[in-house]
Amino acid sequence: MNLINENYFSRENELKYMGVSQFKSFEECQSQAMAKINGEFEKEYTTSLLVGSYVDAHFERTLDIFKAKHPELLKRDGSLKSDYERADYIISRIERQPLMTELLSGEKQKIMTGSIAGVDVKIKIDSFLPDKIVDLKIMRDFQPIYVDGSGRLPWFEAWRYDLQGAVYQEIVRQNIGKQLPFILVAATKEKETDVDCIEISQELLDYELQKFIERAPQYDAIKKGVIEPERCEKCDFCKRTKILTEIKKSEEMYNE
């Protein structure tokens, strides 16, 4: 089956290919990741996520389709709700930036496939240029984010966009025979939208690619039923499917 936008996230292709979002889902909870693939658990589409998706759809030139799929964006009179008027403002800020519009002028939603550590991998690039890989991000803000075990990290590291860049870069290299830089075009949802363009360092990309190489085969084995997925007992899926089998003692709670 050829990968196209319409079947990119089909269950068949989610089982066949590893994507960056799927990999990150396995990192968070293996059981929840499998539940997503099997259609047993769906991510909640919050207003914040929809604002970002609205902006993405505009630059993909699929905004009319996006609006048709999400009638909750509109008031009864057919006008946009205030949150999505904010999305229109973010779009206008980006389009007033010549550098950002140039970076977003490449081939839209370019799909490529390849193999990393023996695992079939798929990617979909927001803007593919002959000399650059560009991804659009709509963020709450650009402040550093605290991550357990790592401390305060730049927002692009905290959200694992360096991992995304590493995988995209490697799959593009396999397809065109050369290594291209990975660049984030970013804007914020703040009252006054901030904008930025960031090239992720090659050192960071190489480091994240090695993480993917080390862990992707295990997650692929879980998808194929060779290994049982582990539960994190913290995510929404684990909470929803929890079965109590014993009574805890109060003193045990201090160690959790």
14: tokens are 């989610």
**Mean pLDDT over each residue of the chain, to the nearest integer:** 94
Domain membership of residue 128 (yes or no) is yes
Residue 83 lies in a domain: no
Q: Is residue 244 part of a domain?
A: yes
Structural domain of 133 = 5-43+97-255
Residue 256 has pLDDT above 70, yes or no: no
Q: Give the separation between CA 76 and CA 64, rounded to whole angstroms.
A: 18
Is residue 6 over pLDDT 90?
no
Name the token pair of 188. 């914020």
Residue 33 has pLDDT above 80, yes or no: yes
CA 213 to chain centroid, in Å, comes to 18
Minimal CA–CA distance to 153: which of 139, 143, 167?
Answer: 143
Q: Supply the CATH number for residue 184's domain.
A: 3.90.320.10
- pLDDT category of residue 75 using cuts at 50, 70 and 90: confident
Q: Determine, yes or no, domain membership for 90.
A: no
Report the pLDDT value the prediction gives residue 68, as an integer from 0 to 100: 87
In a domain, 88, yes or no: no
Alpha-carbon torsion angle 59, 65, 70, 71, nearest 10: 120
Count how many domains the chain has.
1
> What is the per-residue pLDDT across 85-112, written as a single tens digit (0 to 9) for each?
889 999 999 999 999 999 999 999 999 9
User: Is position 126 within any domain?
Assistant: yes
**Is 129 a member of any domain?**
yes
Looking at residue 49, its pLDDT comes to: 87
Q: Is residue 197 part of a domain?
A: yes
1 has pLDDT over 80: no
Q: What would the pLDDT profile of 171-208 be if each residue is shown by its tens digit?
A: 999 999 999 999 999 999 999 999 999 999 999 999 99
Which uninterrupted H or E stretch holds 87?
Answer: helix 82-95
